[in-house]
Amino acid sequence: MKTIEEIRADFPILSRKVYNRPLVYFDNGATTQKPLCVLDAVREVYTEYNGNVHRGVHIMSDLTSEAYENAREKVRSFINAGKREEIIFTSGTTGSINSVAFSYGERFVKPGDEIILSTLEHHANIVPWQMMCERKGASIRVIPVNDRGEILLDDFLKLLSPRTRLVAITQVSNALGTIVPVKEITDAAHSAGVPVLVDGAQGIQHDVVDVSSLDCDFYAFSGHKIYGPTGIGVLYGKEKWLTELPPWQGGGDMVDKVTFEKTTYNELPFKFEAGTTNYAGAIGLAKALDYVLGIGMQYIAGREKMLLAYATEKLSEISRLKIYGDSANKIAIISFLIDNVHQYDTGMVLDKLGIAVRTGTHCAQPVMQRFGIDGTVRASMCFYNTTGEIDALCSGIEEVIRMFS
């Protein structure tokens, strides 16, 4: 078992200084930092064996294709999907959701149909569905949340109807940190014969994810939020759906036979991977998954729980500070406002103290509207953060309060 010092040493960026102060990185919800082994894995692709995947008879293409397919297998086992054919590499969560919204909409949605989302959704799990609904004459229904930022399950059940074509729901709110009971939602939706897409952008990196026991129909996540490279993501889809859905893009590698009269498509998963994919990113992502498995997902979940408890206690002691989202079941995200201080001012002062937090609506404007605010300051922590960094955040906030009082 590595010590926290050893873990932090795996991430070169964590030891840099900003404005001559140690960097305190609390914007892990936006993107996570990368361990050296991930950077090395990507570098190795380009220094040792780079060749386009599934294209050549030469050894470089073979080696890259093998590493790419091994990466697919790594993702499959990481989320416990049944088959490697069910793992599609995409550009990220946004790419994955847009793709399903397009293809599922083309194949299954007709005028009058409904898609159920929740108030907690990131814009990436709202806008693609709105675009599809506009094309298809369908509409969106929204599950409300209570004052703690928790989904109201009874209201969800009331929204399910014969018109419901799909439920698309986040596993964890990026704005408040709420963990959503996606298993209960999936079971209820399935009882009504409705498939479920889970946006795992904030779920994949904090605890064990098992799509087989979750039984969701689609699961989307981004590599860069789980210590992997940017520009790579995953769409898991049950084989029965992926077989039925039309491809969302046409191009090289996704075809079987092409004539000007007719094209037949490649088998899964290649049918959904048109063109040259981000194979170096996929190989880097596989290394990131190896890295977190080495640390241990249970260890990560436990350490982040400890950080959340510590941060909640310390921040609650600051009288002018209000925390938004206090579900008993949340990840290590604290969204807050300081009385009479705009969130941008707080963020800018903290930045100058070397503390990186996110400010604004967090690409989740509807949940901000629900709480009647135009944004928050968000400290999103992960396992490489420390209680000392939380103390630094608290001192920084005291400084903000002094400056603006």
Q: Does the footprint of ligand PMP cover residue 93 (CB under 6 A)?
A: yes
Q: Does the footprint of ligand PMP cover residue 385 (CB under 6 A)?
A: no
Residue in 72, 122, 136, 378 binding ligand PMP, rule: CB under 6 A:
122
Q: Judged by CB, which is closer to ligand PMP: 174, or 277?
A: 174
> Which of 125, 173, 117, 120 has its CA nearest to residue 367?
120
- Nearest approach, Cβ of residue 5 and ligand PMP (Å): 29
Residue in 71, 116, 117, 124 binding ligand PMP, rule: CB under 6 A:
124
Q: Does the footprint of ligand PMP cover residue 98 (CB under 6 A)?
A: no
Q: Judged by CB, which is closer to ligand PMP: 122, or 370?
A: 122
| Cis geometry, peptide bond prior to residue 246 (ω within 30 degrees of 0) | no
- Nearest approach, Cβ of residue 48 and ligand PMP (Å): 28
Cite the active site residues.
363
Residue 180 · residue 169 · CB < 8 Å: yes
Listed ranges 198-206, 253-261, 326-334, 337-345: which one lies at the site for ligand PMP (CB under 6 A): 198-206
**Which of the residues 154 through 193 are near ligand PMP (CB under 6 A)?**
170, 174
Residue 392 · residue 349 · CB < 8 Å: no
Residue in 27, 199, 217, 389 binding ligand PMP, rule: CB under 6 A:
199
Q: Judged by CB, which is closer to ligand PMP: 116, or 401?
A: 116
Q: Does the footprint of ligand PMP cover residue 94 (CB under 6 A)?
A: yes
Crossing angle of helices 279-295 and 36-44, rounded to 10°:
150
Beta strands in 291-366 (DSSP E): 321-324, 333-338, 355-356, 358-360
Query: What residues form DSSP beta bridges with 257?
Result: 264
**Residue-by-residue DSSP string for 13-61:** GGG-EETTEE-EE-BTTT-----HHHHHHHHHIIIII---TTT-SSHHH
Residue 202 · residue 173 · CB < 8 Å: yes
Chain positions contacting ligand PMP, by CB under 6 A = 92-94, 122, 124-125, 170, 174, 199, 201-202, 222, 363
